[in-house]
Amino acid sequence: MLQMNNSILTTSDVRNTLESKLSRYFGVTPQEADKNQIYKAAVLTVKDILTSKRSKYKEKIKKQRAKTVYYLCMEFLVGRSLKNNLHNLGIVSEYEKVLNEMGFDLNELYELEPDPGLGNGGLGRLASCFMDSLSSLDYPAKGFSICYEYGLFKQKIIDGNQVEFPDDWMNDGDGWLVPRTDKTFSVKFDGHVSEKWENGKCTVIHEEYSEVQAVPYDMMISGSDSEAVNSLRLWRAKEISNFNMNLFSQGQYVRAIQENSNAEIISKVLYPSDDHTEGKLLRLSQQYFLVSASLQNIISDHLASYGTLYNFSDKVAIHINDTHPALCIPELMRILMDIYSYSWENAWDVVTKVVSYTNHTVLPEALECWNVDLFRLKLPRIYNIVSEINRRLCEDLWTMYPGDWDRISRMAIIGYSQVKMANLSIAASHTVNGVSKLHSDILKKTVFRDYYKAMPYKFTNVTNGIAHRRWLSWSNPKLSKLLDECIGEEYKKKPETLTEFNKFRDDTSVLERLQEIKTENKLALSKFIFNKTGIIADVNSIFDVQVKRMHEYKRQLLNALKIISMYIELKENPNAHIHPCTFIFGGKAAPGYYKAKEIIKLIWSLGSEIERDPKIRDIIRVIYLEDYNVSTAEILMPASEISEQISLAGKEASGTGCMKFMINGALTLGTLDGANVEMKEAVNDDSIYIFGHTAEEVDELWKKGYEAIRYYQASDKLRKTVDRLHRGFNGTSFSNLVSYLISGYGVSDPYMCLADFDSYIHTFNELTSVYQNKELWAKKSLRNIAQAGYFAADRSIGEYAADIWHINHVK
Ligand code: Z16
C-alpha cells in the first residue's frame, strides 16, 4: 500500500506499488509491460490511494455527525479521471518521474482512457463539476446516478450526415469503478396495490410485482488539495434470479431462464436527448430505479449511523437535479409510511425539509409530464401517493384561492391525464432555484408564476459554475503557469482571487506571453484537427468556436448564415476586408432531431465547398469536429479566441461552456441570455461583444407578431444569404431551411435568426476588427480571465451549501 498522507508519498512508493500491480495483475515487469498495462496499473494504484483517503474522510464525517448532501441526477458527465485525480491528489510529478524512468510518457497514458459519456451535455457536466467542488471544499456529499452500459452515442459525420455508434465505455473504462455487490437493493415495478386493515392499522400490500436488483458501482471523487474523497454511486440493474420453478419442474429449463432476462435493460442505455423529453416507459423505469435504490440506500446508511430516523432531516439534504429524479418525493413518502409506519403528516414534514430542486430549462418540450395510465401501471403505489399529494395540494390551494379553478388546475400535479413533474417538485421542495439570474427571474415571471405568487419564499437563484481546476489549471498548463508566476497559486483554491490578474493589464510582457500561449494552444488544437480531418487550420487566423449540443434555440444556423454571408462577399470581392477566420463547430444532435441534423449537414457542406476553393479557404474555413465530448473540450477551450454564445435571448437557462471559454481568455460574442448577462456585468462592456434582441424585446416582438420575411425583405445582405441556401453547397440544396426561415407553414423562423442577423454581423465585424490590435485584444482577453473567478463551481457550491443544503465543511 502507498503512504497515505500524500505529502509524503515518495517516488519509490509509486515505483513499488506500480511494480507490484504489474506483477500481480499482468505477470509482467515494467520492462515487459505495454502502455495499456502500465495505464491500468497506474489506475489501480491511484484507486488504492483514494480508497484509503476515503475511509479516513468517512471516519471524520461519522465523528462529527455531519450533515450530507445527496445529489440525485440522471446524468454525470465525468470526463477522464486519471489526470484529474493525479492533479487533485497533488502527485503528478511523482508519477511523471517514475513513469519516465520506466520509459513511458504520462500524457500518452492519459489518452488511453475512454471518456465515459454518462450524460448529454450541460446538465451532466454541471453535476460532475459540482462533485469536484464539493470534495475540494470538504463538504460531505454523495452523487447518485445510473451506470448506463452504453453512454451517449459516438458521433461520426459521414458525407455531412450524423451517424450514431454505440459507446460501450465499460469495455475499457470501468477501471475507476468499485463494484459493491454487498450493498444491493431491490426495486419493485408493476403489480397491484391494496390496503389491509388489521386492529385499526393499515398495511399496504403490493402483489404480483416484478423486481429488479440495483447493484452499486462507486467512483471516488477526490478534492483538490483537500482531505475529502466523496463518491459517485452508479446503479446497475441486475435481474433477480428467482426462476419460475414450475417451468423447471416441467423440464422447460431454457424457457425458465429466458423469462427472467428483461430487467437488465433498465440500465442499458442513456436517453440521448438534451433539453427534451420523450415520455417513454423505459425512461420512467430508469427514473424510479435511480430514485428507489438511492433512497433505500440513504435511509439504510442513516440508520447504520444513528439507529433512528428522528434526526433524518437534520443530517440529510436531498437535491433533485431537474425533475428527472423527482420521484424521490413519493418514494420517500412510501418508505416512511409503508415501512417505518410514519403518518402522512410526519412523512410530508420530513420530505419537505430535505428535498430541494434545481430547474434547468424553460423550454416547454423539456418539462416532464407523464401519461397517467402509464404511470399508474408501472408504479401503482407511487401513483397512489402522488394522487394524495395532489389532492391535499389542491385542497390547500382552494382555501388560498377559492373558486379560482384556472389557477388551481395550472398548479395541480395531476390533470388532463398527465402527471406534471415540475409542479410535484415545487410543491414538495423547500427551495427551488434557477441556474442564472435571468433564468431565475424568468421562472418567477412566466413558467412558475403561480407558484411564485403562492410560495415566494421557496424561490432563489444559484448561477452555475465550472470546475476551474479541470478547465483552467489542468487543461491549460501554460496559462496556469503564467498565472502562478503573476499572482501565485491561491486562485486554485480561491477562484475569486483571479481578479489579482487585473493588475497586469498594462504589463506588455504579460500581454505578449498571453498571445504566445494562445498561439501555442492553437497549434496543439491545429494538430489535433489535422489528425482527425486532414485539414490544416492556420494558427494566424482567428479561431471562432461554437461547441455545444445541436439545438434550434442555440442557433448554430445563425452562425452558419454569418459564414455564408462572408463567403458570398468574398466570392463577389476577393479583396474584401476580412480577417482570416477558422470557424470550428462541434456537437451532437439527438438521433431523432431531424432539423438539428439538417443544420449539421449544412455546416459540413459549406465547409466542404469552401475547402475546394483555394482562394476562399485561405481566408475562411469551416470545420465540423466529430464526436465533441469532455476530452475534446479540454483541447478546444484553451485554443479558442471567439466564443459563440448566440442562443435566442430567454432560451438558454445558463450555459456553462461560455464560462470555460472565458476563463481561458476567449472573447464572448453573445446575446443577453443565460449566464452571458452576468459575464457582461463582470467584465464591463468593452471586453464582451453583445448583440441581438433582449429577452423582453423577444417577448414584445412575438406579441406584436413576428414576421421573419420583413427582415428578409429589408436587408440585402440577409436576402442574398438566405437565397444562397436554395442553391445549396457541395451539391446539396437547403431549400427546406429557406422555408423554415421565411415561409414556414406554422411560424417562420421560430428562433428569430433573421431578427438578430444584422446585429450579429455588425458586432462580429466590430469584434474581429479589434484583432488587428494584438495588444488590445490581449488586454480584453486578460480581463476575461481575471473576472472569470465568479463562474467557478466553488462559488456555486458555496451558495448551495450555505443557503439551500445547510451543510458544513468536514476537516
Ligand atoms: C440540460 O443539459 C440542460 C437543461 C435541461 O433541462 C436538460 C438538460 Cl439534459 C442544460 C441547459 O440547457 C443549460 O442552459 C444549462 O447551463 C445546463 O443545463 C446546466 O444547468
Asked if 321 and 358 sit in the same domain, the reply is yes
Q: Which residue bears the cell 462577399?
A: 569
pLDDT tens digit sequence for 315-330: 999 999 999 999 999 9
Helix (H) / strand (E) containing 246: helix 245-249
Asked if 33 and 170 sit in the same domain, the reply is no
In the prediction, which pLDDT does 171 show?
86
Split at pLDDT 50, 70, 90, the class of 576 is very high
Q: Is residue 90 part of a domain?
A: yes
Split at pLDDT 50, 70, 90, the class of 173 is confident
Ligand 1 atom at minimal distance to the Cα of residue 435: 20
Catalytic residue among 660, 724, 780, 783: 660
Cα 432 to averaged position of ligand 1 atoms, centre (Å)? 16
CB-ligand 1 contact for 360 (6 Å cutoff) = yes
Share of the chain above pLDDT 90, in %: 92
Q: Is residue 704 part of a domain?
A: no
CB-ligand 1 contact for 654 (6 Å cutoff) = yes
Least confident of 128-132, 261-265, 591-595: 261-265
Q: Is residue 529 part of a domain?
A: yes
Asked if 280 and 378 sit in the same domain, the reply is yes
Q: Say whether 724 is catalytic.
A: no
Q: Is residue 689 part of a domain?
A: yes
Q: Which residue bears the cell 404511470?
A: 375
Asked if 572 and 661 sit in the same domain, the reply is yes
Regarding pTM above 0.90, the answer is yes
Concatenating the DSSP letter of every residue in 439-456 gives HHHHHHHTTTHHHHHH-G
Q: Say whether 548 is catalytic.
A: yes
Asked if 554 and 619 sit in the same domain, the reply is yes
Q: Say whether 571 is catalytic.
A: no
CB-ligand 1 contact for 366 (6 Å cutoff) = yes
pLDDT tens digit sequence for 640-652: 999 999 999 999 9
Concatenating the DSSP letter of every residue in 75-112 gives -------HHHHHHHHT-HHHHHHHHHHTT--HHHHHHH
Catalytic residue among 324, 444, 458, 554: 554
Split at pLDDT 50, 70, 90, the class of 261 is low
**Domain limits at 195?**
65-79+115-464+798-805
In the prediction, which pLDDT does 429 show?
98
Pocket mutation for ligand 1, best pick of 76, 128, 360, 661 (most atoms within 8 Å of C-beta): 360
Q: Is residue 58 part of a domain?
A: yes
Angle (CA) 545 549 551, round 5°: 105
In the prediction, which pLDDT does 746 show?
78
Cα 274 to averaged position of ligand 1 atoms, centre (Å)? 7
Q: Is residue 811 part of a domain?
A: no
CB-ligand 1 contact for 113 (6 Å cutoff) = no
Cα 321 to averaged position of ligand 1 atoms, centre (Å)? 10
Asked if 351 and 409 sit in the same domain, the reply is yes
- The residues, ordered by sequence, that sit 6+ positions from 609 with a Cβ below 8 Å of its Cβ are 729, 730
Residues 724, 130: Cα–Cα separation, whole Å: 45
Asked if 41 and 131 sit in the same domain, the reply is no
Asked if 410 and 328 sit in the same domain, the reply is yes
**Bridge pairing between strands 185-189 and 210-222:** antiparallel
- The residues, ordered by sequence, that sit 6+ positions from 373 with a Cβ below 8 Å of its Cβ are 417
Q: Say whether 703 is catalytic.
A: no
Catalytic residue among 80, 319, 420, 548: 548
Phi, psi of 317 (to 5 degrees): -120, 130
- How large is the greatest C-alpha to C-alpha distance in the chain, in angstroms? 93
Least confident of 299-303, 574-578, 774-778: 574-578
pLDDT tens digit sequence for 187-205: 999 999 998 888 888 899 9
Asked if the model's pLDDT at residue 686 lies above 90, the reply is yes
| Whether complex ipTM tops 0.95 | yes
CB-ligand 1 contact for 322 (6 Å cutoff) = yes
Cα 167 to averaged position of ligand 1 atoms, centre (Å)? 22
Q: Say whether 660 is catalytic.
A: yes
649 residue type, one letter: A
CB-ligand 1 contact for 274 (6 Å cutoff) = yes
In the prediction, which pLDDT does 160 show?
98
Q: How many domains does the chain have?
A: 3
Residues 656, 677: Cα–Cα separation, whole Å: 13
Q: Is residue 342 part of a domain?
A: yes
Asked if 399 and 313 sit in the same domain, the reply is yes
Catalytic residue among 582, 656, 668, 671: 656
CB-ligand 1 contact for 638 (6 Å cutoff) = no
In the prediction, which pLDDT does 259 show?
65
Split at pLDDT 50, 70, 90, the class of 5 is very low
Cα 298 to averaged position of ligand 1 atoms, centre (Å)? 26
- The residues, ordered by sequence, that sit 6+ positions from 71 with a Cβ below 8 Å of its Cβ are 127, 130, 131, 134, 141, 142, 143, 144, 319, 321
Closest residue by CA, ligand 1 atom 4 = 360
Ligand 1 atom at minimal distance to the Cα of residue 75: 9
Which of 76, 42, 81, 79 is CA-nearest to residue 222? Answer: 81
Cα 651 to averaged position of ligand 1 atoms, centre (Å)? 11
User: How many residues in the chain?
Assistant: 811
In the prediction, which pLDDT does 242 show?
64
CATH classification at residue 275: 3.40.50.2000
Closest residue by CA, ligand 1 atom 3 = 123
Asked if the model's pLDDT at residue 255 lies above 80, the reply is no
Asked if 328 and 373 sit in the same domain, the reply is yes
Residues 607, 157: Cα–Cα separation, whole Å: 13
pLDDT tens digit sequence for 507-539: 999 999 999 999 999 999 999 999 999 999 999
Beta strands in 159-245 (DSSP E): 161-165, 177-179, 185-189, 192-198, 201-207, 210-222, 229-239
Q: Say whether 283 is catalytic.
A: no
Q: How far is CA 495 from CA 412, 489, 642, 658, 785, in A?
A: 42, 10, 23, 17, 11
In the prediction, which pLDDT does 94 show?
97
Instruction: List, in sequence order, every residue forming a beta bridge with 196; answer none if it has no partner.
Output: 203
DSSP code for 119: S
Cα 701 to averaged position of ligand 1 atoms, centre (Å)? 25
The whole-chain average pLDDT of the chain stands at: 96
Ligand 1 atom at minimal distance to the Cα of residue 119: 9
Closest residue by CA, ligand 1 atom 5 = 275
Q: Is residue 60 part of a domain?
A: yes
Pocket mutation for ligand 1, best pick of 75, 126, 275 (most atoms within 8 Å of C-beta): 275
The pLDDT of 725-733, averaged and rounded, is 97
CB-ligand 1 contact for 656 (6 Å cutoff) = yes
Asked if 184 and 315 sit in the same domain, the reply is yes
Instruction: List, in sequence order, every residue forming a beta bridge with 70; answer none if it has no partner.
Output: 142, 318
Burial code (b: 16+ CB inside 10 Å, e: under 16) for 191-225 equals bebeeeeeeeeeeeeeeeeeebbbbbbbbbbbbbe
Cα 122 to averaged position of ligand 1 atoms, centre (Å)? 5
Asked if the model's pLDDT at residue 629 lies above 60, the reply is yes
Asked if 25 and 135 sit in the same domain, the reply is no
Residues 53, 65: Cα–Cα separation, whole Å: 18
Residues 369, 283: Cα–Cα separation, whole Å: 12
Residues 666, 784: Cα–Cα separation, whole Å: 7
The pLDDT of 790-810, averaged and rounded, is 98
The pLDDT of 374-397, averaged and rounded, is 98
